[in-house]
Structure 1
Amino acid sequence: MSIIYTPQQYKLADKAQENFIDADEIHQILEAAKSPHADDVRRIISKSLNKARLSLQETAVLLNADSPELVQEIKDAAKELKERVYGKRIVLFAPLYVGNLCINNCTYCGFRNENKDQKRTTLTLDDLKLEVKALEDAGHKRLILVYGEHPKYDANFIAETVKTVYGVKHKNGEIRRLNINAAPLDVEGFKTVADAGIGTYQIFQETYHRETYDKVHKSGPKKDYDWRVTGLDRAMTGGIDDLGIGALLGLYDWRFEILGLLRHVNHLESVFNIGPHTISFPRLQDASGIDVDSKWKVSDADFTRLVAILRLAVPYTGLILTAREPAEIRDEVLQYGVSQIDGGTNIELKGYSADEDEQNLDKEQFVISDNRSLNEVMDELVQKGFIPSFCTACYRKDRTGEHFMEFSVPGFIKRFCQPNAMLTLVEYLEDYAPQSTKEKGYKLIEEELANYEDERFKSRLLQRLENIKSGTRDLYF
């Protein structure tokens, strides 16, 4: 775990207590970039292909490049850049909802306090263990724990659930990395959660447009825009240096939200010299009791395009796509820059361990569009030439925060990601995969190894692959 920033160091972050998202600035940047010349678009694409971060102004040019020809060039470049930085690996995880008590009234969320149709549940520690065992038995190694915003789900509660999950080990199954999606905490709260050994702490701003934010957050602590937007600054101060940001697309103009995300990236880099480990961009979905304006709905065409633009704008940052999206959209945008997806997802409380007839899926937080099992997702990834990965090496080798940036910004992270992905894939093939998936998986690994240029490193990798086949587990570079 990274060091905790001292009060003296945190003075650098005084701006975090102010509103570093200036709506007028973002609108002006978007307006100035309207009707861009094709030569400018291609110049910016070329810069990104050299693994250079794009400015807000440059990103705005891509956001305004509407011609089908330029949109395709943006997608093609994003596909090439992703291959250069990350290789063919796709990280797999599963969300695990711990509790849906909530004191906020957010018009877009099925968990909102005013939704009296929502069945309220908080997993007991025994419930939690059953859920984790079911996830381990499917082959999962990485989870994100999700909590409503409620006094019950304080830092001590989060830390206790984290320690409980890490303690569940069944057969060859274990959870090696736990990320958190929960309410913003104060600095002391983040210290408590950091001590439990978490990976990334996610806080989604939902919308960076203050006026819209105020409109959709009717009441509750989440209504405080500034407390939320500065939450990850407090997380850094509390010793958590793996950060996840996100916006819920469909509440306001998606172009504005993309620049809001990048403005947040710039803020974290300028204050802490560390950008976010991941960016999420879920699209608004139907849910029990929601009430939102459909004006800002994001089309499939715009969604696939914005994923490619995000990849070009921040080459080093992981892009997360969830099962909110249908399989055909997920399959398409995997090419353009997404590096992490969930598989075998169930967001119902107790959903992984309950029988199907016991589930209450119409009262989830939102509608899941991709209901494929983990193995179905794995099998399809392998067929398309992707290497499914459950790797947790960076977290456990202390390649987080500034150390992660040192590896990822120049694109060196691919050297570790690809072989570690193969190692975790072989674990899955040996322990969980049906024979058909196992055969496809080993064929893919064989093809990848045939193209490996570094013979010395390849020799080490081959030895570890054989060790896993012989029963050793948890090997990584």
Structure 2
Amino acid sequence: MSDFINDEKLETMLDEAEPTAEEIDRIIEKSLNKERLSLEETATLLQADKPEWIEKIFDGARRLKSKIYGDRVVLFAPLYIGNKCINDCEYCGFKASNQDVERNTLSEEQLRQQVKAMESQGQKRSILVYGEHPDYDADFIADTVETVYDTTEGNGEIRRVNINAAPLDVEGYKKLKDVGIGTYQIFQETYHHETYQQVHPSGPKSDFEWRLTGLDRAMEAGVDDVGIGALFGLYDWKYEVLGLLEHTIHLEDEFDVGPHTISFPRINDASGINIDDKYEVNDEEFKRLVAILRLAVPYTGMILTAREDPELRDEVMEFGVSQIDAGTRIEMEGYTHADEEQNLDKEQFEIGDTRSLEEVMYELVRDGYLPSFCTACYRLGRTGEHFMEFAIPGFIKRYCTPNAILTFKEYLEDYASQRIIDEGEKLIEEKLEEIEKEDIKTELIEKLERVEDGERDLYF
């Protein structure tokens, strides 16, 4: 494995791109046919800056989301396990040189309490987050994963545990595969080499290539669900979009399957950070990059984080977002102290959306979205290459909508306020009417009745 990012190549593509209305129409139509775009085609969209061209891109992204994902939105919540770190990343509140941050690693009992607090809200999916530190090796991560899966509260359980942690060696990833992790997520932060070195002055994370190839080793170990991301605001946003696409293409070429998800957070305020605003991404640019990413990789999940405020999240959702975190607390022990104000000395960065899961659920349903806590594909082996066999042609929608309805019904039965129940039952009836295959509709109605009778964890 080696460094597959060529700065000069990506910069040249942006410099040489010459958008025309006809070419933009052709590229969008290719995406709507569920074909991944090339680097050159994506560069063309990135340089399409006329208002009418931007609106074409927005409209294409809306149509693509509707075509592949419908109005389903998958929900999850992050859980910080430990914030000790030996890196000194300029943009991170947990960097090693920050003496103001309160360091903590959850004990097993503290971890169980956080999980129970999440489950009592209705969470079913979580991503565990770790600093980079010798204490947080593969064995430690595996132990925490097993604890999360083993912790239940009433009808509540975490059914899918994803991981956001430092790159491991192949043997480390194998240990995590053995305990049943979902997606392993590594953000390159920036794909621009010079910028990368500037913002990662010391610690293991300063090794660009080791981090870049971290998901190759995960794939070699059999972890076929991986997530990539960039932290927008470190370098030119257009370049970073091409970097994410180049990473996607590399994984497809090497392993016949691209990333399961792409994340695109922007830099937020944090304790002790040292980043200027030269490459700050404004809201309009952010909407453009989300829409272009959606078109570039039509079959890949896209994660919109709680770094953004509720109003912008609502706007951006329609451009192709398939997953969001909700009810998010990123302070250490944040879920058992959910009523406290944000404290930057206890968290990695400031979040923009502090709404509870209940509030987010209500607004999603009110706006016509179908909330989903589905984990069926992961548990039935529809991951990695198998997932792409379904997702690329768009057939996954046959499974996703019924499974989303079932997990939403569980939420209505176990956790919902009356206002969500009233709106949610109407939404389920509407979704049942939209299911064209009578055999699926009949089976779904039967499963919904079983959920009402107290059964849980039913899926297609």
Band the TM-score falls in, shorter-chain normalisation:
over 0.9
Measured in 2, the distance between the counterparts of 1:80 and 1:362 equals: 42
Query: C-alpha offsets along residues 30-52 of structure 1, whole Å, 9 cap, x if unaligned?
Result: 11114x11111111011111111
Aligned residue number for residue 350 of structure 2: 367
- 2:314 is equivalent to residue 331 of structure 1: yes
Query: C-alpha offsets along residues 75-119 of structure 1, whole Å, 9 cap, x if unaligned?
Result: 111111111111111000000000000000000000000000011
Q: Which amino acid aligns with 1:311?
A: R
Q: Is the 8 A contact 1:287 1:363 kept in 2?
A: no
Which range moves more in the overlay, 223-232 or 45-54?
45-54
- 2:184 is equivalent to residue 201 of structure 1: yes
DSSP 3-state at the match of 1:204: coil
Aligned residue number for residue 404 of structure 1: 387
Query: C-alpha offsets along residues 356-391 of structure 1, whole Å, 9 cap, x if unaligned?
Result: 359745531011100110011001100111100000
Aligned residue number for residue 311 of structure 1: 294
Q: Which amino acid aligns with 1:465?
A: L
Aligned residue number for residue 8 of structure 2: 24
Which range moves more in the overlay, 253-262 or 446-455?
446-455
Equivalent residue runs for 1:76-155 within 5 Å: 76-155=59-138
Measured in 2, the distance between the counterparts of 1:39 and 1:116 equals: 55
Aligned residue number for residue 438 of structure 1: 421
Aligned residue number for residue 8 of structure 1: none
**Which of the residues 446, 451, 455 maps onto 2:438?**
455
Aligned residue number for residue 396 of structure 2: 413
Q: RMSD of the alignment, in Å?
A: 1.0
Aligned residue number for residue 4 of structure 1: none
**Which of the residues 228, 250, 268 maps onto 2:211?**
228
Query: C-alpha offsets along residues 149-194 of structure 1, whole Å, 9 cap, x if unaligned?
Result: 0000000000000000000011100000000000000111111111
Q: Which amino acid aligns with 1:238?
A: A
TM-score by length of 1: 0.95
- With over 3 angstroms needed to count, the CA separation of the structure-2 counterparts of 1:355 and 1:333, relative to structure 1, is closer
Aligned residue number for residue 38 of structure 1: 21
Measured in 1, the distance between the counterparts of 2:358 and 2:98 equals: 35
Aligned residue number for residue 67 of structure 1: 50
- 2:169 is equivalent to residue 192 of structure 1: no
**Which of the residues 246, 250, 264 maps onto 1:281?**
264
Q: Is the 8 A contact 1:351 1:359 kept in 2?
A: no
Q: Which amino acid aligns with 1:168?
A: T
User: Identity of counterpart residues, as a percentage?
Assistant: 63
- 2:199 is equivalent to residue 245 of structure 1: no
Measured in 2, the distance between the counterparts of 1:357 and 1:256 equals: 38
Measured in 2, the distance between the counterparts of 1:222 and 1:409 equals: 33
TM-score by length of 2: 0.99
Aligned residue number for residue 10 of structure 1: none
**Which of the residues 191, 196, 199 maps onto 1:216?**
199
Query: C-alpha offsets along residues 399-443 of structure 1, whole Å, 9 cap, x if unaligned?
Result: 011100100111111111111100000000000001110110111
Measured in 1, the distance between the counterparts of 2:435 and 2:206 equals: 52
Q: Is the 8 A contact 2:83 2:104 kept in 1?
A: yes
Q: Is the 8 A contact 2:374 2:403 kept in 1?
A: yes
Measured in 1, the distance between the counterparts of 2:437 and 2:2 equals: 49
Q: Which amino acid aligns with 1:74?
A: I
Measured in 2, the distance between the counterparts of 1:200 and 1:230 equals: 16
Measured in 2, the distance between the counterparts of 1:21 and 1:142 equals: 32
Q: Is the 8 A contact 1:104 1:222 kept in 2?
A: yes
Q: Which amino acid aligns with 1:29?
A: M
DSSP 3-state at the match of 1:285: coil
Q: Is the 8 A contact 1:241 1:401 kept in 2?
A: yes
Measured in 1, the distance between the counterparts of 2:347 and 2:193 equals: 27
Measured in 1, the distance between the counterparts of 2:160 and 2:446 equals: 25
Query: C-alpha offsets along residues 221-249 of structure 1, whole Å, 9 cap, x if unaligned?
Result: 00000000000000011120000000000
Q: Is the 8 A contact 1:103 1:220 kept in 2?
A: yes
Measured in 2, the distance between the counterparts of 1:124 and 1:354 equals: 16
Q: Is the 8 A contact 2:100 2:345 kept in 1?
A: no
Aligned residue number for residue 163 of structure 1: 146
Measured in 1, the distance between the counterparts of 2:333 and 2:37 equals: 42
Q: Which amino acid aligns with 1:315?
A: P
